[in-house]
Amino acid sequence: MDVPDCTRQIHVFCDASEKAYGSVAYLRTENPEGGAEVSFLSARSRVAPKRQLSMPRLELCAALTGAQLASLVNRELTLDICSCFLWTDSTTVLTWLQSDSCRFKVFVGTRVSEIQELTSDYTWRYVDSTNNPADDITRGKTLVELATDNRWRQGPTFLWQPQDHWPITPGQGNIDSCELRKSICCNHVSVAEDHSFPDPNQYNSFKDLIEAAVLLRHGVAGKQGNPTADDYKLAETDLLRKSQQDSFPEDFDCLAMGRPVQSSSRLITLAPEYDPVFQLIRVGGRLRRSELLDPDTIHPVVLDPAHKVTQLLIQDMDNQLCHPGSERVFAELRRQFWILRGRAAVKKQQHSCFDCQKWRAKPVVPLMADLPQARLQLFKPAFFSTGMDCFGPFTVKVGRRNEKRWGILFKCLTTRAIHIDLLHSLDTDSFLMALRRFISRRGKPSELLSDQGTNFKGGDRELQEAFKALNPLLQAQLSKEQIQFKFNPPSSPHFGGAWEREIRSIKSALYATLQSQSMTEEVLRTVLIEVEGILNSKPLGYASTDVADPNPVTPNLLLMGRPDPSLPQAVYHESELLSRRRWRHTQVLADHFWRQFIKYYLPNLQTRSKWQKDTDSLQPGMIVMILDPQIPRAVWPVGQIINVFPGADGRIRTAEVKIKDKVYTRPVARLIKLPSIHNTDKAEKSPST
């Protein structure tokens, strides 16, 4: 009956028994004249679980298979289906499907929820067992019975008839109470806010809170004139009592009624007592026999550190004492108040106090970085990666006048070799001539690393100003020589610690040699070169006292072919000056240096001597104070981070700080993190009561 005007319906029947359950689907096609034809579509069956289930639960499982079968058939058929009906002979299941799934226990609730979701657009109806073809699934049929025309192949007889001859759904069935969830009683208790006390969370200081409490108390009492000292005392007592009632409600009620506190109370070790005069909880303690102490010191008022009144009280005492150490504030508070875990509460408050952190906080340095590539240029010529710095000035005699000279240090960052030269002035020409002399004697480096002007040892103003002028010119000159020039951030001597430490060694040797005597330029140059030879003779790594151990390598071994300039060099016969023997000897010395360098010295660079813990990174928007040892701490500038520069390992080691209209680039080792200013703004007024 393939007529375009025909209407098609899907009918799914479900049934269950103690042994099996399942469902069967039929397609009912009705022509415009009212004639109907029923065709078998599909069926599915399941064996009942081994664990015994009740018949309503088995019927619900059958209904679930019917819902799944109906959803599958509607999805797979390409015909236009006008409606879908699902049939069951269990009134209990029909009642469950018309109820909320949350009312039932897990087994029934989850299946009811899934059936309702799958059949939200379908219609569930009742069919008696005699007209239910799904009953054949639970009872079974033989092959002979299946071969003949029957209800299983052609569907129930009522489907061939008009809809008014279909079975009528009986009244609603009963819900089995054993499948319902137990009811839970949820009570909501609302406590009316006490408007006789100001809210401590709305105030920034204890004095403002007391002032608000006095005004509120004064107005409620209907008094005229200005508040008296007694009004302020009573207001403070009321606030302390309210904080105790909020923090220790059970203990307060027990002590007020004359009963001891419970053994699990936080106050049990204090032997708390109730003060009937001020209606406060005080420490009983063991000092009651002392005649020299004040009564408030013997029996201080107990307070909770987490309460806002206690936090404002600690903040007020810290401000009164001009932000001393935590022990000083804690000792003053103990004269009148006993704050639980008071020492930790004071430290916590001072940690969030802007002024306390401004006077005592220290920079938080991240984990020490890995060695840069410049420190690991193995098998490269000496001074391949070179660090540079200036030191001085030194006063020399030129005729009858005194003039200034500066020293310049070039250090190989890998082999630790150094080169020292003398600068006549701090202009561009003087530096470039010193660089030309260095390249002619040591070879052209691949990169030059240097601190910026504010980092030069000695801190001479002329040196700083001259270096600022050198900066753009040096970049242009060195780029022509194919030398890469890198600058460390300002005020970060630890970025160039490799050569900063050598400058200290040079100064120590100079002071021990020259002391305070004046000298000529020739003497100064000679002494500097001698110091260079001494420092290049320092052994790299640990020098063993065992004779059998090999001698440690020195930078001179690579530069001069011998570990010390005082040792004689290898002598070659005149006929062998141009032979391979001398070249081989030089190559052996270089191989010996690098072999000993990698074996004994390089592993010592693995450990992190400081900054061994990772810390929280600074982020844009944070308030920081720039550490400047040249000026008093009281005038250290405070600004806001606007940009950060992560290193190769992702950790922040440099940041840009904006102070007024200027931007400064500083390492995190020179930045002290401060609490946000808006959290501690004393100028902000408390809300009026």
Residue located via tokens 């399942």:
22
**How open is the CA angle 530-533-536, to the nearest 5 degrees?**
150
Of 89, 96, 116, the closest CA to residue 180 belongs to 96
pLDDT at res. 635: 85
**Maximum pairwise Cα distance, the chain:** 137
Are 541 and 603 in contact, with CB atoms under 8 Å apart? no
Are 255 and 274 in contact, with CB atoms under 8 Å apart? yes
- Phi, psi for 546 (deg, rounded to 5): -80, 130
Rg value, the chain, Cα = 46
> Does domain 618-681 match CATH 2.60.420?
no
**How open is the CA angle 59-60-61, to the nearest 5 degrees?**
90
Are 243 and 197 in contact, with CB atoms under 8 Å apart? no
List the helix and strand counts (H, then E) for the chain: 20, 20
53/180 Cα distance (integer angstroms): 16
Q: At what angle do helices 308-320 and 206-221 cross, to 10 degrees?
A: 120
What's the topology of domain 7-165?
Nucleotidyltransferase; domain 5 (3.30.420)
Are 383 and 410 in contact, with CB atoms under 8 Å apart? yes
Strand partners, 42: 25
Joined together, the tokens standing for residue 329 give 């504030």
CB atoms within 10 A of CB 647: 13
SS3 at position 126: strand
Are 200 and 226 in contact, with CB atoms under 8 Å apart? no
Measured CA distances, 426 to 343, 460, 530 (Å) = 55, 12, 23
Residue located via tokens 């639960």:
57
SS3 at position 29: strand
DSSP symbol at 182: P
Joined together, the tokens standing for residue 493 give 């001597």
Of 397, 402, 411, the closest CA to residue 506 belongs to 411
Are 317 and 634 in contact, with CB atoms under 8 Å apart? no
DSSP symbol at 269: G
Which ranges constitute the DSSP H helices of 263-372? 295-298, 308-320, 326-334, 342-351, 354-360
Burial of 108 (0-12, 13-18, 19+ CB in 10 A): buried
Cα torsion 86, 88, 93, 96 to 10°: value is: 30
Residue located via tokens 């006095």:
214
**How open is the CA angle 27-32-38, to the nearest 5 degrees?**
20
Same CATH topology for 7-165 and 618-681: the answer is no
Identify the helix (H) or strand (E) that includes residue 8. Answer: strand 7-16
pLDDT at res. 689: 31
Identify the helix (H) or strand (E) that includes residue 214. Answer: helix 206-221
Low-confidence ranges of the chain (pLDDT < 70): 1-4, 171-177, 183-196, 218-225, 369-371, 373-375, 452-485, 487-499, 509, 511-517, 541-551, 561-612, 677-689
232/244 Cα distance (integer angstroms): 19
Identify the helix (H) or strand (E) that includes residue 109. Answer: helix 106-118
pLDDT at res. 303: 93
Q: Indicate the domain borders of the chain.
A: 7-165, 200-360, 383-599, 618-681
pLDDT at res. 569: 47
Of 543, 559, 540, 545, the closest CA to residue 602 belongs to 540
Strand partners, 11: 26, 85
CB atoms within 10 A of CB 43: 19
478/475 Cα distance (integer angstroms): 5
130/278 Cα distance (integer angstroms): 86
Of 411, 503, 416, the closest CA to residue 456 belongs to 503
> Does domain 383-599 match CATH 3.30.300.160?
no
Of 228, 232, 241, the closest CA to residue 309 belongs to 241
- Phi, psi for 332 (deg, rounded to 5): -70, -40
Are 505 and 409 in contact, with CB atoms under 8 Å apart? no
Residue ranges with strand state E in 371-467: 385-398, 401-412, 418-423, 447-450
